[in-house]
Amino acid sequence: MTLRVQILKDKFNSYLGLPFKELLPASVIEQALSELKIRYYQRLFDPIVTLWAFLAQVLDTDKSCHNAVSKVIAYLAGQGVEIPSTDTSAYCQARSRLPEKFLEKLFSQVGQSLEEKLGTEHLWCGRNVKVIDGSTVSMPDTVENQKAYPQPKTQKAGCGFPIAKIGVIFSLATGAAVALCIDVLNTHDIKLARNLYSFLKPNDVLVGDRAFCAYADMFTIKNINCDAVFRKHQSRTTAMRKGKIVGDCDKLVTWYKPKTCSKGLNKDEFNALPPSITVREIYYYIVIPGFRTQQVSLITTLLDEGTYSTLAIVGLYGQRWDVELDLRHIKTTLGMDVLRCKTPSMVRKEIYVYLLAYNLLRSLMWSAGTTYSTPPLRLSLQGTRHHLNNFIPELLAAISTKRLKIYRTLLEWH
């Protein structure tokens, strides 16, 4: 058993361990297991082998457990060891034994490790920018999934699928996902956001759409030494004559505390809000020939117009679209829009593994871009996955001295 496990670790390390060796080597996984005090028996599918097989499974176009087990059998073939059964039960049981906290920790750790590679040239006005957005994922129609993540109430029973809502914070500079929240479908985006603010670091700038623009949230974000740039909620009207003018289409305005406690806040949180806050409002127009002219109003806590110019903030909000593409990549390119697991616990684990795989691909794109002087965000995530999957046979077959040369070729041809 020990020999087979070591063979599998060596095989996985040949293609997953090499591209991602700085972010997810076996030592990092073992350290996470140790910190969480996770004990396990010496099985063929120990946590390390199971995790790497799980990652390979979500990165492949064929995401079946049978395909994952088939790869394990192929890796052991010709090694002079006992070949495991083609039955998937052992692998599926091993996946279910992976603690959710373990996968969450690895996902967060890889995202933060990539953040640590940022230099001052990658920052916006000397600040690290995070972008927040929400989306949904569907899953198999099982009793357990329906109970935990009910289908839309507008659908008749038996005519829909369970749907979970996710909130994700991405790094604008690296494209990596740095925080995740999972809840039921009817959860408002702002509730997801309030569960994610704790992942922000001092001096971060958070960018989001109008769903996150609320009085309490502007105060909360500023109170943790961060700043926000949100599109103004449609319920607030733009009064052109009010406020202190600081530039063209740019002014400082005073927001007053709501008279009643809004949903999502308890009385203590509502009572802790100040009577008023000063925010900056920037409004501009988007003119596209053939379309109706659209006015956009931004609300931000970045009050210093000397440091943060009007054009800089407008340009920053324009980059929020990148998050829409990031979510599309995770759901469509990697295939997370329709999950495969049949229990709520495994659904959450599957989401964490998808985001972990996404972050590992982002790390590969970062290495390729910084090595060959190409902006990493201009590289194709789908292309990166194709290159990685196509280079796997060569990485597995090569001797150690030749493997590094193949890896450098993988980076060069992004």
Find, among 250, 159, 160, 230, the residue nearest to 190 by Cα.
230
Q: What pLDDT shows up at residue 341?
A: 95
Interatomic CA distance for residues 395 and 168, integer angstroms: 33
Q: What is the largest CA-CA distance in the chain?
A: 81
Find, among 156, 162, 208, the residue nearest to 185 by Cα.
162
Contacts of 268 (CB under 8 A, 6+ apart): none
Q: What pLDDT shows up at residue 21?
A: 55
Render pLDDT for 78-129 as a digit per residue (tens, 0 to 9): 676 777 788 999 999 999 999 999 999 999 988 888 898 888 989 999 999 9
- Residue 236 structure tokens: 């607030």
Q: How many helices and strands (H and E) does the chain possess? A: 15, 9
- Most trustworthy range by pLDDT among 37-41, 228-232, 236-240: 228-232
Give, as one character, the DSSP assignment of residue 352.
H
Residue pair 13/30 in contact (Cβ under 8 Å)? The answer is no
Q: What pLDDT shows up at residue 13?
A: 60
pLDDT of 41 over the 90 cut: no
The DSSP-derived string for 75-121 is HHTTTTSPPPPS-SHHHHHHHHHS-HHHHHHHHHHHHHHHHTT--GG
Residue pair 347/161 in contact (Cβ under 8 Å)? The answer is no
Nearest-10 Cα torsion for 288, 291, 293, 295? -90
Q: What pLDDT shows up at residue 370?
A: 87
- Residue 99 structure tokens: 């603690």
pLDDT, averaged across the chain: 86
CA atoms within 13 A on the CB side of 82: 7
Find, among 143, 112, 126, 189, the residue nearest to 362 by Cα.
112
List residues bridging with 227 in a β-sheet.
Answer: 205
Sign of CA dihedral 400, 406, 410, 411: positive
Least confident window among 73-77, 184-188, 234-238, 368-372: 234-238
Interatomic CA distance for residues 362 and 376, integer angstroms: 8
Interatomic CA distance for residues 284 and 312, integer angstroms: 13
pLDDT of 145 over the 50 cut: yes
pLDDT of 164 over the 90 cut: yes
Q: How confident is the model at residue 18 (pLDDT cuts 50, 70, 90)?
A: very low
Select the more confidently predicted residue: 395 or 279: 279
For residue 362, the one-letter residue type is: R
For residue 80, the one-letter residue type is: G
Residue pair 192/165 in contact (Cβ under 8 Å)? The answer is yes
pLDDT of 331 over the 70 cut: yes
Contacts of 288 (CB under 8 A, 6+ apart): none
